[in-house]
Structure 1
Amino acid sequence: MSFTFEVQATCSYTNARAGVFHTPHGVVETPRFMPVGTLANVKTVTPAQLQDTGAQMVLSNTYHLHLQPGEDIVQMAGGLHKFMGWSGPMLTDSGGFQVFSLSEINQINDDGVTFRSPRDGSLIHLTPEKSIAIQNTLGADVIMAFDECAPPGVGRDTVEKAMERTYEWLKRCVAAHSRKADQALFGIVQGGEFLDLRAEAARQLVDLNLPGYAIGGVSVGEAPEVIDQVVQHTAPLLPQNKLRYLMGVGSYREMARAIAAGVDVFDCVIPTRLARHGSALVGGERWNLKNAKFREDFRPLDETCSCYVCQNFSRAYISHLLRSQELLAYTLLSIHNITELVRFTQRIRQSILAGTFTTEFAEWIAPVTG
């Protein structure tokens, strides 16, 4: 089964494009926001509810699934899609982000990364080969190369070393990948805030002619204007005929600006994380439904939204659920928030097809300032 990306329309004044990414489990119409289901579950939402949000592709995480339940159990269940009951396209991160986020419990060298398990204290040695073997066993449509994400604020030498190690690990991932027919291996462009390093990393990855490419190492603590500068510089360096994926970004302006630079898909935990804190995404704003003003507000969350939540429940009801600590509140807010971000990217897609992107979304694609 081949993985292809088809560009359907482009924008005359930006690098934005609308396209279709073909996978063994269906298509992804781009630009598109992708919800995160770290442990083969988008928190508080069933697969049927997730499908109703308009989501087409879901992410899970190699490191966490390796710890629990283990890739062998997922394989025994028939693979990741059957295990979690999601029939659409899926992507697994490589565990590379945990090299950054769990830096206090790991040690890095050229061979790989050794973690101390947060579950039982045992040592876990994750190498490029091991990451790919786990992902081959899990069976997602798209798998990510094992990479090193340098933390923000470190010196150029440290960032360059991480970039070089990421490239060496990528070549080992390519050699270890055994399911090329039904799994697409994506490389990840690193290089921190140094634009020349980003350009060099992009050149190295493009030379390997991979099925798709990701921009990593952003949204890990940098200022928004730094993220924007990196994305605007890097995205156009990646092939026109391959899917471009910006990792870990899910705010309105960052997505709109990245789409204008030529990015196709995004992932972020924002919609479900905000839901667990009682917040809704409405019209580009974040609303805290615990606020007193919502107690007697019987309007839908968003009167323009067609999601299940906005068609059936009021702000007052969700506020009541939150105040009562009822679990349904988190499900309803998650459904709406995911729908909102998917709908935002769907609207952008339609505007690109219609040739109205730069006018319709002028507010959102204005440059990011500090």
Structure 2
Amino acid sequence: MNTIFKTFKIILYCMISILMLCCKNEKSGLLTIYVDTDAETPLALSEITSSLDSVKLELTDKSLIKNPFRIVCTDDYILFVETKAMMLFDRSGKFIRQIGSIGQGPGEFTGIWDATIDTKENKISLITHGLKRMCYDFNGNLLTEYQSVSSAPINNLYFVNNRLLLLCETPVKQNDIRKNETYLYTLTSDLKDIDTIFIRSIDHKGIWLHPYKDFITHDGEKTYLYYSDISKNCFLIDTLFQLNNKEVVANLHMDFKNKGLSPNGEKEINIFTIYRNSRYVFAFYNAKNQYYYFCHDTKTGKSYNMKDGYKDDIYTGEKVKIRPLNSDANQFYFLHTEIDDTTLEEPNPTLYIGRLKK
């Protein structure tokens, strides 16, 4: 009888502990999403898209689109940002002009770290490889140019919720220990620092040039931050954070299967980005040298894990790679080049702009 009673007490204690833990997780509001990296569950764009528009981009000798790392749209313009060029189109796809030029003189740049459009002030803002901060108007006139006092080699620029934000990472040395420190700056319309938030400090593994810059997104109500580190032997960053004034708080956690290091010391999972809106959670990651796109629908509870992209069953019939447009997690874009047997010269890609279902 005593044994039965003790067993009952242990079971009861465990049940109470589990209940308390569940209540704690519910109060914290931290959503945890499981990602089965071995699964292949396709998702068609029509299942998550409320509208999808196409813009055929004019090709001229000055508007050849090669490899844009940032695309920004306003009601009137589309800006394509590449390492060595910025090309401005109207919303119908007609090429207008290049913004700025390559060089080392006034109004010129040797390369572009990042650029965005301040829609409040109607300015094109950029950070150059020489760490100059520059602003242009849509006619290509230089408005602002000065040398940044920051020595941060990694700079990511965003215009989110009517604020101009600069996310910087730089190596520092503290007591003979090298670290990478990340800060988020709020800027004025002429790119002056007015506020700073410390994001993180991690062991220095070198500065890695990230192919994506979708680290800050906004869904109309909340602003989110995800800043990855996919260097060798570094920890897995699998948490999306929310920016609340000067606080950076955890918003959701992604539980990846097979995470950790392989026997030869390589990371099994490399996450490039995580972002979300009120309904969908998205991720782009690499697992065992295979690229995956992940989508979780919080409304239905369903998750989708796709090799190489989403099935575009609306226009192209092919797999496409979507990214948030203007750091707006409610919109997305992708590029697709349409070639047929009658094409004599490869055209510029067509830009597709979509809006997600609510």
Structure 2 length-normalised TM:
0.33
Q: Whose helix fraction is larger, Structure 1's or Structure 2's? A: 1
| Rg larger for | 2
Structure 1 length-normalised TM:
0.32
